A and B are shown apart, each in its own frame.
Chain A
Amino acid sequence: MLTIKKGIFLLCTFGAALLTGCSSVKPVNNVSGVAAIDVDHTTRGPVAGVGIESQDIVSMTDKMLRDLLATPVIAGRQVAPRIIIDDSDFQNEGSQPINKKLIINRLRVDLNRSANGKIKFIGRQYAAAVDTERKLKRKGVTDTGTTGLTKAQSGADFKLVGSIGTLDSYVSSSGMSQRYTQVTFEMLDLENGEIVWSNNYEFAKAAADDAVYR
């Protein structure tokens, strides 16, 4: 009898301890889920951290294209220069994994739409596709199209090059992390190697949030 009582007492104690343990676990605040919301990609959204985010990409590409169009050596020439803007010489040397094309493609598209013929863009990243079509035309598999034939693919005068760099710091006692990000853009003369234009986009952010970039 005494043993049963003891057993019940132990069971109750164990149950109470278990309940206490459970109650100390932080409840999940989205048990029923969070409905999808439309977010303005030009401003900081509800999920934000210390890295490059959509508003940064919008802001940096906007700044670069406006600066490029105000630069005479690029946008003030008698003959529109030919420029390559792709990610082949734009390196991500920072700690954040990021698709570089998000930056490069936005810059090329917006610059192309805004340049109004003052700059010509060479799609060197699509050179293989152009080469295939040129061979088909010259073998007579296809006709010559409507824009005529050229001796060769267009050569370029300048190429956009650059890099992403970061400097990270972390305080374990507070859980705060800080990141300085520097994105460098430069326009390289493809004949003599001169850098004819440069600009930086830099910022630093600090947070204790656990946003994950992927």
Chain B
Amino acid sequence: MKLNTITLLIALLTLYGCADTRKMVVQCGFHSEGAPTGPALVAQEYGEMSPIPLNAIQFVDYSLVEQLVVQSLRAQRTPTNTVQVQARMVNCTDFPLVVGVRTHFLDKDQISAEKETAWRNVIIQPHALGSYKESSLTTEVGNYLLEIRDAR
């Protein structure tokens, strides 16, 4: 009886130990359908009538949708009152990703405040974070839109 109890305890502890395995490597979940709201993490196909959300990231390549997750997207004013956007991304694959990112800065009426920025390559190691930062040229910025593409 005593031996059985000890055996049972060991078995329970072992099982608990297995169930408590911490996720040391980032795991990504992807939406398969539905339009994004807020900082967009899901690609949209051009030609669809769904509106492109502002202050968000638009995926240009569909293949990237299941490889990359945007963890955060922020904007702030610089000391000269221009706008700086910052995006932090996670590479969910087992290989390095080379993505091109650019920003459209729009005024409060959603008209381009300036020419879109040049494509900037961001290289993100497997399961690591990558960051992108870009400043506007003008102070008349009300909204912004980022584009991400595969730049390999």
Chain A residue with Cβ nearest B136? A66
CB of B118 within 8 A of CB of A70, answer: no
CB of B119 within 8 A of CB of A70, answer: no
In the assembled complex, the Cα of A175 lies from the Cα of B134 at a distance in Å of 37
Given A65-B137, A114-B137, A70:B84 Cβ within 8 A: yes
B125 within 8 A of A: no
Please indicate the chain B residues that have their CB under 8 angstroms from the CB of A62 in the complex. 117-118
CB of B118 within 8 A of CB of A67, answer: no
CB of B80 within 8 A of CB of A69, answer: yes
Pick the residue among B82, B84, B120 that contacts A59 (CB under 8 A): B120
Name the prevailing secondary structure of the A interface residues.
helix
Chain A residue with Cβ nearest B77? A70
What is the size, in residues, of chain A's interface with B at 8 Å between Cβ atoms? 21
In the assembled complex, the Cα of A192 lies from the Cα of B103 at a distance in Å of 37
Please indicate the chain B residues that have their CB under 8 angstroms from the CB of A114 in the complex. 114, 137-138
Given A114-B114, A114-B137, A70:B120 Cβ within 8 A: no
B67 within 8 A of A: no
Most buried by B among A65, A69, A71: A69
In the assembled complex, the Cα of A63 lies from the Cα of B114 at a distance in Å of 14
CB of B120 within 8 A of CB of A63, answer: yes
Q: How far is the CB of B130 from chain A (nearest CB, A)?
A: 15
A43 within 8 A of B: yes
Name the prevailing secondary structure of the B interface residues.
loop
B131 within 8 A of A: no
Map CB proximity to B onto A54-79 as digits: 1 under 8 Å, 0 otherwise. Answer: 01001101110111011110011000
Map CB proximity to B onto A106-117 as digits: 1 under 8 Å, 0 otherwise. Answer: 000000001010
A153 within 8 A of B: no
In the assembled complex, the Cα of A67 lies from the Cα of B78 at a distance in Å of 10
CB of A76 within 8 A of CB of B118, answer: no
Chain A residue with Cβ nearest B103? A66
CB of A67 within 8 A of CB of B119, answer: no
Q: How far is the CB of A38 from chain B (nearest CB, A)?
A: 17
A203 within 8 A of B: yes
Pick the residue among A58, A70, A116 that contacts B78 (CB under 8 A): A70
Q: How far is the CB of A169 from chain B (nearest CB, A)?
A: 18
Please indicate the chain B residues that have their CB under 8 angstroms from the CB of A71 in the complex. 79-80
Please indicate the chain A residues that have their CB under 8 angstroms from the CB of B119 in the complex. 42-43, 55, 59
11 contacts between A and B (CB under 8 A): A42-B118, A59-B118, A59-B119, A62-B118, A66-B134, A69-B135, A75-B80, A76-B80, A114-B114, A116-B138, A118-B80
